[in-house]
Structure 1
Amino acid sequence: MPDDTGAGRVPLTRTERPTWVRRIGWLLLIWFLSVLALAVVAGLIRLLMTSAGLTV
């Protein structure tokens, strides 16, 4: 069975580490997708409320 403690791993060299630009890119991607998901859920709730006759 493989050992998952990481004891046999070789540390990443400077060239193999993700750059700060890539890290910021992932952060922005995750943020954007979460905002998009929130907008979709809010739109669905608004659609359900409108179809139930609840208007502003």
Structure 2
Amino acid sequence: MQISLNKNALLRLGTELIRLAHNYKGGKHYHIDPIENEDASQVMGIILHPESCELIIC
């Protein structure tokens, strides 16, 4: 697995992970699916490339 992020993406991901840490409830997890066609869903400020695998943050 390879993750490629530019400076702004790293800052945004870090911000979202800090928010998650402050609001974390035991047992909760987030599924982030790759975009399909024109349908893009954004969870925690993350959009995955269509060829990416699903990302689960626990």
What's the TM-score, normalizing by structure 2?
Answer: 0.34
Between Structure 1 and Structure 2, the one with more strand by share is: 2
Report 1 or 2 for greater relative contact order, CA contacts < 8 Å, sequence distance ≥ 6. Answer: 2
Higher helix proportion (structure 1 or 2): 1
| TM-score normalised by length of structure 1 | 0.35
- Which of the pair has more CA radius of gyration? 1
